[in-house]
Amino acid sequence: MTVVTRFAPSPTGYLHIGGARTALFSWAYAKRHQGQFILRIEDTDLERSTPEAVKAIMDGMTWLHLNYDEGPIYQTKRMATYKTYIDQLIKEDKAYLCYSSKEELEILRESQMKAGLKPKYDGKWRPESGKSLPPIPQNIQPVVRFKNPSSGVVTWHDLVKGEITIANEELDDLVIARGDGTPTYNFCVVIDDWEMKVTHVIRGDDHINNTPRQINLLKALNATIPAYAHLSMILGADGQKLSKRHGAVSVMQYFDQGYLPEAILNYLARLGWSHGDDEIFSMADFCQWFDLDHITSSSAQFNTEKLDWLNSHYIKTLPLDRIALAIEPYLKEVMHSPIDSNLLLKAIDIHRERANHLTSLAGDIAYIFEYQKPNQQDFEKHINAEALDLIKSFQAALIKIDWTKEAIHNVMNDVVTLHAIKFPKLAMPLRVLLTGIGQSPSIDAVMEILGHDETMKRLNLYL
């Protein structure tokens, strides 16, 4: 059996963290078993689906490098296929036309709730042996309902939650086509999973209530029933469901904030799944290790501090050229000069130890490429006549040296000794004039990267 998984978002909003984790687990499970991973866009909700949401989903998948083997497949392109199956179910007396109006259904719902009953369709238009149906009303576009079994149970072994059993009497006759003929979500999912030979449905546990309905539909079609694995929801630090107020609007928001996809994926992989004590691992290792047995059935809690720690780790340890590629969009936001690639690698190398986000790292290294006017507070604190005299003495001693960090450092030591001062008395004024701020990596390393000419040019603005 070839393992086939799918990620099937509805384009009614952005790709959020919960959806990204579902996509990651589905992708990894297919990779682990040398199977197929499908991206399906479930866009049958024509009123709420938007092109912007589709783009946001695609952008998120691309940024996270969750490459799919097939897709994107749009459900709106498959309407004729769904209609064929709906007609088949009607013909086989497994579905029927329902003419109950919205007003009737609302009155029914209210009466059931007042009586303390679970709201459920009363089966008014359901054909039964010996039952007479009401006269067909005028001006009502009928919906199509599936004849759900009225007795017995639906049982499946959920690969995360364990055995789940739902009584059929708890389920009403599901609407599978609206009055305008468009098929509903639950019906399209069933047809797609069957036709696409999906073997494992990995999704959020908010879909558990849909599963028995979908299983009954699959049985009615004599279709193969996939294995189901329902992931528990992700909670915020306050124990509540992760939402906009926790800052979780879109996966691409994490891009905007300067996170690396490597950090996001590594963090999501550990949200509800574990491999011993391993905290940091590559996606290659994750795909090799990932299984459904070690997914916890309890909710995972999102911890921004831990994500920041992981992001900092990857900024420090990934190859310099990877960070250089990732930081380019952020550099373009803070500067306008052309970026020399060799200079960029050197700048990242001496700055990344302190960085938690690419946004801050871009801001930290911008002075390497463009002169930054000194911060007024730092300027007033460190720049005075004595400091400028020290810098003149230092500048004069630089003329004859090879331009290396070590040689520059030796000259700084000579000047400090000559004037009987502490090292910061020279280093801090140099830092302010060359970088514009009072904090930077070792100033001799900064000067080596800036080069002789640029260093002298910046110093001469004040001498």
User: Residue range 33-43: average pLDDT?
Assistant: 96
pLDDT at 246 over 70: no
Both 354 and 434 in one domain: the answer is: no
User: Residue range 174-181: average pLDDT?
Assistant: 94
Distance separating alpha carbons of residues 50 and 37, to the nearest angstrom: 24
User: Residue range 77-82: average pLDDT?
Assistant: 96
- Report the b/e string of 126-137 with b at 16+ CB within 10 A: beeeeeeeeeee
Selection from 173, 171, 189, 185 nearest residue 225 by Cα: 189
Q: Is the peptide bond before 441 cis (omega within 30 degrees of 0)?
A: no
Confidence (pLDDT) at 400: 83
Both 197 and 287 in one domain: the answer is: yes
Both 184 and 281 in one domain: the answer is: yes
Number of domains in the chain: 3
User: Residue range 282-298: average pLDDT?
Assistant: 94
Does the annotation flag 241 for ligand binding?
A: no
Q: Is residue 106 part of a domain?
A: no
* Residue percentage of the chain with pLDDT more than 90: 84
Helix (H, G, I), strand (E, B) or coil at 135: coil
pLDDT at 19 over 90: yes
Q: What is the pLDDT of residues 264-274, one digit of tens each?
A: 999 999 999 98
Q: What is the pLDDT of residues 189-199, one digit of tens each?
A: 999 999 999 99
Both 300 and 394 in one domain: the answer is: no
Both 221 and 291 in one domain: the answer is: yes
User: Residue range 283-307: average pLDDT?
Assistant: 93
Distance separating alpha carbons of residues 1 and 3, to the nearest angstrom: 6
Q: Which phi and psi (to 5°) does residue 424 adopt? A: -60, -25
Confidence (pLDDT) at 248: 58
Q: What is the pLDDT of residues 308-352, one digit of tens each?
A: 999 999 999 999 999 999 999 999 999 888 899 999 999 999 999
pLDDT at 245 over 70: no
* Residue percentage of the chain with pLDDT more than 70: 98
Q: What is the pLDDT of residues 273-288, one digit of tens each?
A: 989 889 999 999 999 9
Q: Is residue 290 part of a domain?
A: yes
Q: Is residue 130 part of a domain?
A: no
Structural domain range at position 339: 319-366
Q: Is residue 102 part of a domain?
A: no
Both 327 and 241 in one domain: the answer is: no
Both 222 and 301 in one domain: the answer is: yes
pLDDT tier at 26 (50, 70, 90 boundaries)? very high
Selection from 65, 27, 64 nearest residue 259 by Cα: 64
CATH classification at residue 425:
1.10.10.350
User: Residue range 426-448: average pLDDT?
Assistant: 93
Confidence (pLDDT) at 49: 86
pLDDT tier at 244 (50, 70, 90 boundaries)? low
Selection from 177, 215, 148, 211 nearest residue 85 by Cα: 177
Task: Decide: 45 and 185 in contact? Cβ < 8 Å.
Answer: yes
Both 189 and 311 in one domain: the answer is: yes
User: Residue range 288-303: average pLDDT?
Assistant: 92
Q: Is residue 264 part of a domain?
A: yes
Both 265 and 335 in one domain: the answer is: no
pLDDT at 94 over 80: yes
Domain end position, chosen among 317, 332, 358: 317
Q: Is residue 116 part of a domain?
A: no
Distance separating alpha carbons of residues 426 and 388, to the nearest angstrom: 9
Average pLDDT, the chain: 93
Q: Is residue 146 part of a domain?
A: no
Domain end position, chosen among 331, 366, 401: 366
Q: Is residue 89 part of a domain?
A: no
Task: Decide: 443 and 394 in contact? Cβ < 8 Å.
Answer: no
Both 307 and 441 in one domain: the answer is: no
Both 226 and 272 in one domain: the answer is: yes
pLDDT at 242 over 90: no
Distance separating alpha carbons of residues 7 and 29, to the nearest angstrom: 12
Confidence (pLDDT) at 375: 87
Instruction: Pick the range with the lowest mean pLDDT from 73-82, 217-226, 334-343.
Output: 334-343
pLDDT at 247 over 80: no
Q: Which phi and psi (to 5°) does residue 229 adopt? A: -135, 110
Both 308 and 334 in one domain: the answer is: no
Cα dist from 319 to 222, 323, 381, whole Å: 53, 7, 38
Confidence (pLDDT) at 239: 78
CATH classification at residue 186:
3.40.50.620
